[in-house]
C-alpha cells in the first residue's frame, strides 16, 4: 500500500494502520480453504475511531481509489468471509466490552469484539444464557456470530443468532453510527421522514419490500434456518406491525456496514439434563427417527457418523472409550432433554424412550454425566478433529459443510449423496444439527489428485442442486463468503439477486464494506485463492 494512502487512512485516526508482514500473513487466512493477504490491518480504538476510518476510506473511494474495509473477529469463518486484499479491520481490541444485564427483561448490550466465552462467564452468575452458541464457542466472537448468523446445538429450541438479536448498532457508509432494531408504525413514520442516510435506508428498503413481497416470499428457503443471501423476507413480520432492519443486518457478513455493538436476548440456563443415544444402521430411517424425537421437546438433537467415531477412537481415545458405539451401526443420534425441573426432564425423556423402543430403535438412556459429556466432546469437536487429521490418507475439506434440508428428505438426500460421491471415488463424514435439518457434509479428498479445485466446485454444484431441489439452503451457520457467493444466483435467481444488489447499494453505494461477499464473487477468483496444499 502506497505511503500517501496510508497517510490518508491515518488522518485523525488514533488507532493503528499496521503493515507488518507477519500481521498481514496472520490475517490472510481463516478457517476456510482460502488465502488472501490484506494490504493493511486497521485497529480502531473505539466507535469514534471507526467512524474516522470509514470516512477516510470513503474519501479515498470518492477520489477513485479501489479500497474497502473487511471486519475481522476471531478468524474462524469457514467461508472466507473475513478475508480481503484491501484493509482488514480488527474489531476485538476496541469493541470488547460487556454491558449490564437487564435481569427483568433478559437482555444485554455487548461490544462486537467480545468473545462468547467471556460473555457467558459474566452471565453464569445470573443463570442466563445466550443460546445460539456454536461448537467452537471457546474462540467465537459476538461480531462474527452476528455477521454469519451462527446457530449451534441449542438453535432447535431457541433459534439462530437472528432470532436472538434484538438490535444492532452499526457504522454505515456515511461514517455515522445508527441503531437498528424493532420499530412500530409510529416510529417507522419518524424514521422515513429523516433527512439522512438512516431515513434514506428506511424509505428505499420499504419500497423494495413492498414492491417485491411475493417474489421474496417465494425465494425464502423452506427450512428452519438460513444464512444464504440477504434475509429481506424477515424485515417485516407476519402481522405487518414490526419493521426490523436488524433481521437484515444479521447474517449480512459485514457487507452493509461494520457492527459495533449488539443487544442480545437471553434465556434461562436450565440445569436438569437427560440424554438418549440412538444407534442407527440405516440412514433411510433418519427422517422417521427425528420426527419421533421432535414430538417430545428435545433441547438438542445432534448426530455424528462412524467415520467421525473412528477418528475419535484415535485422537479422542478417552472419550471414545467412554461411549458406546455399535460397530455395525452407521450413525449415532444424540437427543438431549432439559427442562426447569428434573421431573419434567425425565418425563419427556422417558416418553421418547418408550416410543422409540416400541418402534424397535436401538436406544439407551445415558445416566452418567461423564459419559454424556464424552458424547458432547466428540460431537462438538468433530469438525476440528476431522480437519486436523487425515482419515485413511485423505484430508477433509469443508466446502459443502453447511447444508440444510427438510427432515422429510433425509433418506432420499443421503442415498443420492452417496451415489454422487461414489462417482468421484470419495467418502464423506456427516454430522449435524439434525433436528433443524442441518447436515454438515465433509468430503475426504485426495489433494494430490489432478484438478482438485475443479473437482471440488463441480461436486459442490451437484450437491447444492440437490439441496435446492428440496427447497433447502446451502448455508445455515457459516454463511456465503468467498466459498458460496458464486452459487447464490443459482439458489435465488437473477430477479432476487438484483434485489440483493439494490439492498447493498442502499447501505454501501461505494462498495467499501467487504466486497465480493454476497455479491460479485466469481468461481475463478475463488479457485485461484484456494490453499489446498497447505492442508496436506
- What is the predicted pLDDT for the residue at 396? 87
Residues 47, 150 share a domain: no
**Predicted confidence band of residue 449 (pLDDT cuts 50, 70, 90):** low
Say whether both 298 and 441 belong to one domain.
Answer: yes
pLDDT greater than 70 at residue 441: yes
What's the whole-number mean pLDDT along residues 327-351?
Answer: 92
Closest CA to 412 of 224, 280, 223, 286: 286
Joined grid coordinates for residue 527: 479457485
The set of cell numbers assigned to 502 is 439494490
Q: What is the CATH number of the domain that holds 46?
A: 3.30.43.10
Look at residue 36 in the predicted model and tell me its pLDDT: 98
Q: Residues with Cβ < 8 Å from 174, sequence gap 6 or more?
A: 58, 196, 197
Q: What is the pLDDT of residue 328?
A: 59
| 283 and 419 housed in the same domain | yes
Parent domain of 289 = 272-469
> Is 536 a domain residue?
no
pLDDT over threshold 90, residue 140: yes
Which of 243, 268, 293 is at the close of a domain? 268
Q: Tell me: do 260 and 284 sit in the same domain.
A: no
> Nearest-CA neighbor of 257 among 161, 200, 197, 173?
173
pLDDT in tens, 58-96: 999 999 999 999 999 999 999 999 999 999 999 999 999
When the pLDDT of each residue in the chain is averaged and rounded to a whole number, the result is: 94
Residue indicated by cell numbers 439522512 = 196
Average confidence (pLDDT) over 346-366: 97
Same domain? For 21 and 82 the reply is yes
State what percent of residues in the chain have pLDDT above 70.
Answer: 98
Least confident of 51-65, 158-172, 237-251: 237-251
Residue 354 domain-assigned (yes or no): yes
- Model pLDDT, residue 534: 43
453 plus 378 within the same structural domain: yes
The DSSP code sequence of 56-102 is HHHHHHHTT----EEEESSS--SSSTT--SSEEEE-TTTT--B---B
85 lies in some domain: yes
- Evaluate if residue 336 carries a pLDDT over 50: yes
Taking a C-beta distance cutoff of 8 angstroms, is the pair 51, 171 a contact?
yes
Domain count for the chain, please give it: 3
Tell me: do 260 and 298 sit in the same domain.
no
Of the residues 253, 268, 283, the one at which a domain ends: 268
Across the range 454-462, mean pLDDT stands at 90
| Pair 314, 256 in one domain | no
Would you call 340 exposed, middle or buried from its count of C-beta atoms within 10 A (0-12, 13-18, 19+)? exposed
Assess if residue 351 is contained within a domain.
yes
- Burial of 447 from C-beta contacts in 10 A (0-12 / 13-18 / 19+): middle
Residue 460: inside a domain: yes
User: Taking a C-beta distance cutoff of 8 angstroms, is the pair 197, 172 a contact?
Assistant: yes
Residue in 416, 411, 447, 417 with CA at minimum distance from that of residue 429: 417
Asked if 188 and 154 sit in the same domain, the reply is yes
Q: Hey, is 488 helix, strand or coil?
A: helix
Rounded distance, CA 138 to CA 198, Å? 35
Return the biggest CA–CA distance within the chain. 74
pLDDT digits (tens, 9 = 90+) for 25-55: 999 999 999 999 999 999 999 999 999 999 9
Question: Do 279 and 354 meet the contact criterion of CB atoms below 8 Å apart?
Answer: no
Per-residue confidence (pLDDT) for residue 535, from 0 to 100: 43
Range of lowest pLDDT (113-127, 202-216, 325-339, 423-437): 325-339
> Where residue 450 falls among pLDDT bands split at 50, 70, 90?
low
pLDDT per position as a tens digit, 288-313: 999 999 999 999 999 999 989 989 99
Residue 116 and residue 226: Cα distance in Å, rounded?
21
Taking residues 491-510, report their average pLDDT.
98
| CB atoms near residue 151 (< 10 Å) | 30
Is there a single domain that holds both residue 329 and residue 407?
yes
Verify that 379 and 419 share a domain, yes or no.
Answer: yes
Residues 164 and 31 in one domain: no
**Structural domain contains residue 517:** no
pLDDT band at 179 (very low <50, low <70, confident <90, very high): very high
Q: How far is CA 31 from CA 139, 201, 396, 399, 460, in A?
A: 12, 33, 13, 11, 18
251: left (phi over 0), alpha (psi -120 to 50) or beta: left
Short-list 81, 63, 104, CA closest to 27: 81
Query: What's the CATH number where 188 sits?
Result: 3.30.465.10
**Cα-flanking dihedrals φ and ψ of residue 519, to 5°?**
-145, 140
Q: What is the mean pLDDT of residues 165-169?
A: 98
What gap in Å lies between CA 355 and CA 286, rounded to an integer?
15
When pLDDT is averaged across residues 150-165 and rounded to a whole number, the result is 96
Amino acid at each position: 500500500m502506497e505511503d500517501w494512502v496510508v497517510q490518508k487512512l491515518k488522518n485523525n485516526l488514533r488507532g493503528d494502520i499496521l503493515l507488518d508482514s507477519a500481521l498481514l500473513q496472520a490475517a490472510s487466512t481463516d478457517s476456510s480453504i482460502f488465502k488472501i493477504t490484506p494490504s493493511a490491518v486497521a485497529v480502531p480504538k473505539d466507535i469514534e475511531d471507526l467512524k474516522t476510518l470509514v470516512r477516510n476510506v470513503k474519501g479515498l473511494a470518492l477520489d477513485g481509489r479501489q479500497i474497502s474495509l473487511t471486519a475481522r473477529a476471531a478468524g474462524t469463518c469457514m467461508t472466507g468471509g473475513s478475508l480481503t486484499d484491501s484493509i482488514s479491520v480488527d474489531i476485538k481490541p476496541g469493541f470488547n466490552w460487556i454491558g449490564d444485564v437487564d435481569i427483568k427483561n433478559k437482555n444485554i448490550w455487548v461490544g462486537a469484539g467480545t468473545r462468547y466465552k467471556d460473555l457467558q462467564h459474566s452471565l453464569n452468575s445470573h443463570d442466563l444464557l445466550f443460546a445460539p452458541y456454536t461448537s467452537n464457542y471457546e474462540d467465537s466472537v459476538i461480531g462474527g456470530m452476528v455477521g454469519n448468523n451462527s446457530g449451534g446445538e441449542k438453535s432447535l429450541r431457541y433459534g439462530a443468532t437472528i432470532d436472538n438479536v434484538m438490535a444492532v448498532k452499526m457504522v454505515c457508509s456515511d461514517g455515522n453510527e445508527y441503531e437498528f432494531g424493532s420499530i412500530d408504525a409510529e416510529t417507522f413514520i419518524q424514521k422515513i421522514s429523516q433527512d439522512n442516510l438512516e431515513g434514506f435506508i428506511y424509505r428505499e428498503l420499504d419500497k423494495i419490500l413492498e414492491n417485491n413481497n411475493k417474489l421474496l416470499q417465494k425465494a425464502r428457503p423452506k427450512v428452519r434456518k438460513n444464512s444464504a443471501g440477504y434475509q429481506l423476507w424477515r424485515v417485516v413480520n407476519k402481522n405487518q406491525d414490526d419493521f426490523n432492519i436488524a433481521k437484515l443486518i444479521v447474517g449480512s457478513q459485514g457487507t452493509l456496514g461494520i457492527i459495533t455493538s449488539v443487544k442480545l436476548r437471553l434465556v434461562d440456563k436450565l440445569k436438569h439434563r437427560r440424554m438418549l443415544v440412538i444407534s442407527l444402521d440405516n440412514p433411510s430411517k433418519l427422517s422417521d427417527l427425528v420426527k419421533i424425537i421432535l414430538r417430545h421437546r428435545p433441547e438438542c438433537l445432534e448426530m455424528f457418523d462412524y467415520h467421525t467415531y473412528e477418528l475419535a477412537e484415535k485422537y479422542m481415545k478417552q472419550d471414545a472409550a467412554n461411549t458406546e458405539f455399535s460397530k455395525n451401526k452407521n450413525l449415532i443420534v444424540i437427543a438431549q432433554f432439559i427442562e426447569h425441573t428434573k421431573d419434567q426432564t425425565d418425563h419427556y425423556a422417558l416418553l421418547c424412550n418408550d416410543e422409540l423402543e416400541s418402534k424397535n430403535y436401538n436406544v439407551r438412556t445415558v445416566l452418567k454425566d461423564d459419559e454424556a459429556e464424552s458424547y458432547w466432546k466428540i460431537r462438538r469437536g468433530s469438525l476440528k478433529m476431522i480437519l486436523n487429521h487425515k482419515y485413511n490418507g485423505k484430508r477433509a475439506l469443508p466446502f459443502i459443510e453447511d447444508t440444510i434440508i427438510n427432515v422429510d428428505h433425509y433418506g432420499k438426500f443421503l442415498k443420492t449423496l452417496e451415489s454422487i460421491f461414489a462417482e468421484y471415488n470419495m467418502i464423506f463424514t456427516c454430522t449435524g444439527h439434525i433436528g433443524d435439518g442441518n447436515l454438515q457434509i465433509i468430503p475426504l479428498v485426495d489433494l494430490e489428485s489432478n484438478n482438485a479445485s475443479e473437482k471440488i466446485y463441480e461436486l459442490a454444484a451437484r450437491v447444492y442442486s440437490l439441496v435446492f431441489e428440496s427447497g433447502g439452503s446451502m448455508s445455515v451457520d457459516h454463511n456465503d463468503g468467498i466459498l458460496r457467493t458464486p452459487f447464490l444466483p443459482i439458489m435465488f435467481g437473477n430477479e432476487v439477486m438484483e434485489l440483493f444488489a439494490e439492498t447493498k447499494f442502499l447501505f454501501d453505494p461505494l462498495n467499501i464494506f467487504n466486497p465480493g461477499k454476497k455479491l460479485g464473487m466469481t468461481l475463478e477468483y475463488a479457485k485461484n485463492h484456494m490453499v489446498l496444499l497447505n492442508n496436506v
